[in-house]
């Protein structure tokens, strides 16, 4: 199964002080041990790295680059994807809806992904199912 991986999930996995860390770690390990292809895009990499540096520090960014990034199948954002996402963001007219989220939705739409590992409620709002621990 292909699953999109969002910044909110990556941060929860990597930040032990995050209230969702335990659940995120269980989901992450389940996906790594299962037949999942974990998909993300380069804007999520930038956002995750920036927040990790600010919130935790350089060592967390190193762990992310060394241990997490290599297991992600990355979609590199093209000009067309970026422009489509900007259009969605401006049309939605919602201050809390980030460009990175809109790029994620555009990547998911173009690649046919329906499931996301995310703690961001915008994914559900935009019609995507969130990855949860079975049973």
List the CATH number of the domain containing 53: 3.40.50.1010
- 135 located within any domain: no
Range of the domain at 109: 2-130
Residue 116 lies in a domain: yes
**Residue 126 falls inside a structural domain:** yes
- Number of helices (H), then strands (E), in the chain: 7, 5
Count of structural domains within the chain: 1
Closest CA to 75 of 35, 42, 120: 42
The pTM of the full predicted model, rounded to 2 decimals, is: 0.93
Tens-digit pLDDT profile for residues 13-46? 999 999 999 999 999 999 999 989 999 999 999 9
Tens-place pLDDT, residues 87-106: 999 999 888 899 999 999 99
Query: 60-69, 95-104, 126-135 — which is least confidently predicted?
Result: 126-135
pLDDT surpasses 60 at 135 = no
């Amino acid at each position: 199964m292909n699953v999109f991986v969002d910044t909110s999930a990556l941060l929860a996995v990597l930040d032990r002080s995050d209230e969702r860390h335990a659940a995120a770690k269980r989901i992450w390990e389940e996906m790594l041990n299962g037949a999942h292809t974990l998909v993300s895009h380069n804007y999520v990499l930038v956002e995750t790295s920036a927040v990790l540096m600010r919130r935790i520090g350089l060592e967390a960014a190193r762990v992310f680059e060394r241990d997490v990034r290599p297991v992600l199948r990355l979609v590199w954002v093209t000009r067309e994807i970026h422009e489509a996402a900007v259009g969605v963001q401006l049309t939605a007219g919602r201050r809390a809806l980030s460009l990175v989220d809109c790029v994620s939705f555009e990547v998911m739409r173009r690649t046919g992904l329906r499931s996301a590992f995310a703690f961001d409620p915008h994914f559900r709002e935009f019609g995507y199912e969130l990855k949860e621990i079975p049973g």
